[in-house]
Structure 1
Amino acid sequence: MPGGDQPPESRTLELVDANGSRRVRKERRYLFVVLEAQRPFSGGARFAIDDVDEILIGRGAQRSFDTPAGAPRTRVLTLPDKVVSSRHARIVAEGDGLYFEDLGSRNGSRVDDITVPSRVSLGHQSIIEVGGTFLSIHASASEGAPCRDVDFARAPAPSLGLATLLPDYETRLADLAQVAIVDIPILLLGETGTGKELLARAVHALSYKSGAFVPVNCGALPSTLIESNLFGHVRGSFSGAARDEVGLVRSSHRGTLFLDEIAELPRPSQAALLRVLQEREVLPVGATKPVPVDLRVVAATHQTIESADDRFRADLFARLAGFTLHIPPLRDRIEDLGVIIAGIIGQHGDPMRGLKLATPLARALLSHDFPYNARELQQLLSVGAALVREGELDLKHLPEGRLASKKRTQPGLESPVVLDDDTRALKAELVQHLERSGGNVSEVSRTMGKTRMQIHRWMKRFGVDPAQFRR
């Protein structure tokens, strides 16, 4: 057994609850197959590795994660990747750390964009490249984090909005699925492009409601016709009202009303919407008698509306937030990149079915920040798939500069950043760790207790190039 006769101890976190009591919680460790460049339609996989000392990685007929006979603390990860050697690499647990070793593979290995000469330490969310397949290690300390293995190559993934490999987010999505069958308002919070409408549609499908799913962009409603569009009107109630209109709220009767960008709804209209939620009835413009409605409301916004201010009513927020889900941005769920790509391919059908990614493109996607999230990823793949005529989708098929502009910046290429005392101290600490580790971003990530992506963001902000520290 590597590192001695005793199994490695699981990492623990000391937590303080609301009453000030201290408790220790074990971390769960997972190995992710993030993306297979030659089989992007296969989705990703997650394997629990809490009780594993060694993971052997090599080529096989299909993706699998098995325990060899007589070696209960060893796993064998096989990948149907022609660029992976039959005995390519291994990951070993020693003490509290994880280490990656290339076993003399034909095409070599990379960890966090650095070619591995023989052995390197792995940090939280390190990206491991073997052949054209990308792996990652992820730890979760959440109570109830799932321990089951998931492989979307063997079982179909849930609908695109509900598909994830991240343990903590999977738990929240399972909660959302439970809430979906109960008539409780749902509030979705997340950046633009994170898939709020996809989740709202998934909620509607899970609710088995017989009515329609009616999406409404509150920010796009004409300011003078908001209440007429939402609540309907009767003929003659205003100039141009030539006939009765039921409005968007009544159109979702016995279905789901999705109110996107709810924070953009003016306060007067918020009061009318509050009445709909409280009384389950709507008063069309110009009418004297309210009309009963039966509907589920799912609201969404990329803005912060928790606190009462002049923009949003606190009582309406309380009504909308029966169940609140925060959707993480794509840059914080990079382990889901392959899952999302597979979902996008599935949506497009035959035109994308045989799509393959060149390894440099896959590498660029994994290091990209995706400021516009899954929507940006979908657009990149759609444009690239339309332009590739044969072979693999590569960087040259994408709009010029779309990925290159997000690469880590070399020193001196950005304008100087004015730093306060705390920020200067952070930069000094970062540089110190880079010097000690020889520019090993994974080791710095582990030492500072931050994600690899955060370390890269700091390096970009401070104009620090890890290559200058490599020995």
Structure 2
Amino acid sequence: MQSTLSNTRSDDDASAAPATGPTLYVALEGERPLAGGLRLSLAGVREVHLGRGPARSWTREGDVATLQIPDRRMSSRHARLLQEDGGFLLEDAGSTNGSFVEGLRVESAAIDQPTVITLGATCFILNPAELVPVGTSANLDTAKLASVPRGFLTLVPQLEQQVQRLVRIALAKLPILLLGESGAGKEVLARAIHEVSGRKGPFVAINCGALSPTLVESQLFGYVRGAFSGANRDEPGLVRTSSGGTLFLDEIGELPPAAQATLLRVLQEHEVLPVGANAPVPVDLRVVSATLKPIHDSPQFRPDLYARIAAYVHRLPALRERLPDLGILVGALLERVAKERAAELRLSPELATLLVKYDWPLNVRQLEQALSVATVIAQENLLRPEHLGDALRATRVSERPPAAASAPPSGGSAAPRSSPESPSARPLSEDDARLRPVLEAALTKSRGNVSEVARSMGRTRMQIHRWMKRFGLTPESFRG
């Protein structure tokens, strides 16, 4: 475990600012949703060929690389990425099923911001300027990390760095406070901390917000027979039950003041006084706490208790902040909700794209519910958007703004494509007013050949694509 999760940075690099680097993620394979994800550094790569292959593989010769995915919906030579002028160009290579950018089919598209690309049933995320901490491994395939607890798996470089630190803390006995939105996976991470800690006792989870105010102390700290009416036998309580293991206090900010005072003494003295007892009982305690929002300045929470539970604070990102990890999560959740059937399930290209593009306001819990509904409704092994029921309907109606314009319908007009909402409808600056007709004339003359336009205007193809995006033009509109 320690070798698998060993820190990827030296301590000397701990304070170094992260650099930016182009990064390509295999976020989700629709044909193999249990396959996990892949992170690839595109630093120094001029061209990437993407296509179908017998296995997921990444090869590189000089500045040209090839990424193969075992996706039967992909063509063997499906598309290519070209890095130039501070961004990337995606060019379809005459594939059978087309190339899609943010859910829209394109023949070519300029990419200069984090963008979802769908080829076949596989979703990629291309980030031209990913933040990469110093010392982070260039490439990472989660399929090769089977021994790592699910709560620690991530492809996101900055989160990977934080997880490496958390692993070192987990191996110690320091108390940890987890901060994160509802459904972000705090208990899953707490269980992972317990797993790598090597502690032999049980993992005991307590929702502090659900404890009965009148019984909280007896529930937490136990009681002896005869301590109160109905106490017919000794009960160790949840704290003593976790001795030798890990006590997970979820929603610790909801713990009543009286119980806070008692818990503080337990953490200070490493002993519990059960209700009705005369002598304390020693405990070997390791506490991991969690809360939705910071409690360090809450008037309802004791600052001395906070100091005891928050030796190390770790913030869990929301799912929308770690979308490259979607394949990791989908695989783990399908195995949980579909069990033996999980290995036979596939995702349609439309569903895979929808899952990667969605904002997930309720985080991993919402993803689990959506997959649970889909596996129950689907009578076949191919899951489609309609199998989600109403869970994500809002996203299907109102999608994110596309990163590139779609191709015109078959038989559409050769006139430049624009609409009242498109960039071309905005008031043009004086320079743009002069540039647009020149660009349109060059596109008309070349019949939408961007490379020819770039040569004739003495600019890079990336710049031509940026201008077309600014004016709401597509090369397909000039190929009639």
- Normalised by the length of structure 2, the TM-score is 0.78
- Give the alignment of 1:14-93 within 5 angstroms: 26-68=19-61, 72-93=62-83
2:424–2:471: 8 Å Cα contact kept in structure 1? Answer: no
Q: Does 1:330 align with 2:323?
A: no
Q: Does 1:193 align with 2:183?
A: yes
Query: CA offset at residue 469 of structure 1?
Result: 5.7
Secondary structure in structure 2 of the residue aligned to 1:299 = strand
> 1:105/1:159 Cα in 2 relative to 1: closer, same or farther (>3 Å)?
same
User: Partners of 1:136 and 1:396 in 2: how far apart?
Assistant: 24
2:18–2:134: 8 Å Cα contact kept in structure 1? Answer: no
Q: Which amino acid aligns with 2:187?
A: E
Secondary structure in structure 2 of the residue aligned to 1:361 = helix
1:218–1:264: 8 Å Cα contact kept in structure 2? Answer: yes
| Structure 1 residue corresponding to 2:223, chosen from 218, 229, 233 | 233
2:19–2:134: 8 Å Cα contact kept in structure 1? Answer: no
> 1:410/1:254 Cα in 2 relative to 1: closer, same or farther (>3 Å)?
closer
User: Partners of 1:237 and 1:431 in 2: how far apart?
Assistant: 73
> 1:157/1:393 Cα in 2 relative to 1: closer, same or farther (>3 Å)?
farther
> 1:326/1:241 Cα in 2 relative to 1: closer, same or farther (>3 Å)?
same
Deviation by residue 1:157-203 (Cα, 9 ceiling, x = unmatched): 62221111111111111111111111010111111111111111111
Q: Which amino acid aligns with 2:352?
A: A
Deviation by residue 1:259-310 (Cα, 9 ceiling, x = unmatched): 0111110122111111111111111122232211101100011122132x32
> 1:148/1:434 Cα in 2 relative to 1: closer, same or farther (>3 Å)?
farther
Of 204-213 and 221-230, deviating more is 204-213
| Structure 2 residue corresponding to 1:262, chosen from 252, 268, 271 | 252
| Structure 2 residue corresponding to 1:293, chosen from 283, 286, 301 | 283
Secondary structure in structure 1 of the residue aligned to 2:382 = coil
Secondary structure in structure 2 of the residue aligned to 1:67 = strand
- Structure with the greater alpha carbon radius of gyration: 2
Deviation by residue 1:64-105 (Cα, 9 ceiling, x = unmatched): 11013xxx1111011111221222111111132222121222
1:454 matched residue in structure 2:
none
- Give the alignment of 1:117-128 within 5 angstroms: 117-118=107-108, 120-128=109-117
Query: CA offset at residue 410 of structure 1?
Result: 8.4
5+ residue gaps, structure 1, are: 1-17, 412-429, 439-465
> 1:270/1:434 Cα in 2 relative to 1: closer, same or farther (>3 Å)?
farther
Secondary structure in structure 1 of the residue aligned to 2:34 = helix
2:24–2:125: 8 Å Cα contact kept in structure 1? Answer: yes
User: Partners of 1:75 and 1:212 in 2: how far apart?
Assistant: 48
User: Partners of 1:125 and 1:206 in 2: how far apart?
Assistant: 33
- Give the alignment of 1:32-431 within 5 angstroms: 32-68=25-61, 72-118=62-108, 120-138=109-127, 139-144=129-134, 146-156=136-146, 158-307=148-297, 309-348=298-337, 349-399=339-389, 401-407=390-396, 409=398
1:108–1:130: 8 Å Cα contact kept in structure 2? Answer: yes
Deviation by residue 1:229-281 (Cα, 9 ceiling, x = unmatched): 00111222222222221111001111110101111101221111111111111
1:145–1:167: 8 Å Cα contact kept in structure 2? Answer: no
Give the root-mean-square deviation of aligned CA atoms: 2.7
1:459 matched residue in structure 2:
none
Of 345-354 and 250-259, deviating more is 345-354
2:60–2:66: 8 Å Cα contact kept in structure 1? Answer: yes
Q: Which amino acid aligns with 1:281?
A: E
1:441 matched residue in structure 2:
none
Q: Which amino acid aligns with 2:204?
A: V
5+ residue gaps, structure 2, are: 1-14, 401-420, 437-468, 475-480
> 1:280/1:470 Cα in 2 relative to 1: closer, same or farther (>3 Å)?
farther
Query: CA offset at residue 468 of structure 1?
Result: 12
> 1:24/1:192 Cα in 2 relative to 1: closer, same or farther (>3 Å)?
closer
1:6 matched residue in structure 2:
none
Of 267-276 and 235-244, deviating more is 235-244
Deviation by residue 1:16-46 (Cα, 9 ceiling, x = unmatched): xx9xxxx986313321001111110111111
- Segments of 4+ in structure 1 off by > 4 A? 430-438, 466-471
1:365–1:403: 8 Å Cα contact kept in structure 2? Answer: no
User: Partners of 2:132 and 2:263 in 1: how far apart?
Assistant: 37
> 1:269/1:389 Cα in 2 relative to 1: closer, same or farther (>3 Å)?
same
User: Partners of 1:434 and 1:176 in 2: how far apart?
Assistant: 50
Percent identical: 42
- Normalised by the length of structure 1, the TM-score is 0.79
Query: CA offset at residue 432 of structure 1?
Result: 7.0
User: Partners of 1:289 and 1:468 in 2: how far apart?
Assistant: 79
2:423–2:472: 8 Å Cα contact kept in structure 1? Answer: no
Deviation by residue 1:421-443 (Cα, 9 ceiling, x = unmatched): xxxxxxxxx997995899xxxxx
Query: CA offset at residue 109 of structure 1?
Result: 0.7
User: Partners of 1:434 and 1:366 in 2: how far apart?
Assistant: 30
User: Partners of 2:76 and 2:21 in 1: how far apart?
Assistant: 29
1:13 matched residue in structure 2:
none
Q: Which amino acid aligns with 1:390?
A: E
